[in-house]
Amino acid sequence: METIWTLIIIFIVIAIVWGIKIAKKAEGRDTEIGAIDDCPMGKYIAGLPNADDSATDVDCAITKNHFVFFSEINKELGKIPRNSINQIIIDDKTKIAQRLTVTRMLTFGIFSLAAPKKKTYSEFCLVIDWQDKRGIRQNTIFEFTGDEANKNANRAANCLQKYIAVAQTSDNVKTCPYCAETIKKEAKVCRFCNHDLETDINP
């Protein structure tokens, strides 16, 4: 019995030391990149072009121009320019699936097209809808689970919402000839209807 308690205590001490080490590393990281704020983002699912895998306990460091996402071991997953964001969506995971195209669902591999399983806990997703340098629309998805899933997802969204920079004037926007939505002048693909504006024949 004493051996079991000794192992438990050792495990707790190691966990505390590891947590302190990660926290100090994150603090140094934020100072290095000039972060002005940060917020927890739950589990990263997909949608950052340079990120290879999903990651749990993701943290978002907010800088002057970007949202920079880091894994639980402080590995940078990717960044999103603050002035490229169209909207932030929060909803139940099954409802988020209905918002995305089948192509995107298959690409992300996160929403099964088979019969849904009975859920045993809440699953909410936060989707950052943004446009990359090529003018291509991206959906970066984070997942929150547990009894506080909805609350935590909304807390993260509110944090990000404060720092979204929208800078559009008549000089840097145009109207999509297919859906009549306002898009950036340099866009090569419409972020609303996904038409290729360079190769498609105008309607």
pTM: 0.62
Indicate whether 196 pLDDT > 50: yes
Q: Mind listing the pLDDT tens digit for each residue in 52-86? A: 788 888 999 999 999 999 998 888 999 999 989 98
Q: Mind listing the pLDDT tens digit for each residue in 3-60? A: 776 666 776 756 564 555 555 555 566 676 678 899 999 999 988 988 878 888 899 9
Residue scoring higher pLDDT (101 or 9): 9
pLDDT value for 200: 58
In single-letter form, the type of residue at position 124 comes to: F
> How far, in Å, CA of 91 to CA of 31, rounded?
33
Residue of 139, 136, 132, 130 lying closest to 105 (CA atoms): 139
> How far, in Å, CA of 190 to CA of 203, rounded?
14
pLDDT value for 14: 64
Indicate whether 149 pLDDT > 50: yes
pLDDT value for 202: 52
> How far, in Å, CA of 126 to CA of 140, rounded?
8
Residue of 57, 48, 53, 35 lying closest to 80 (CA atoms): 48
Residue carrying structure tokens 């749990």: 56
pLDDT value for 80: 94
Pick the CATH number of 35-164 from 3.40.630.10, 1.20.120.1200, 2.40.10.10, 2.30.29.30: 2.30.29.30
Residue scoring higher pLDDT (113 or 92): 92
Domain boundaries, the chain: 1-33, 35-164, 168-203
Supply the mean pLDDT for the chain.
76
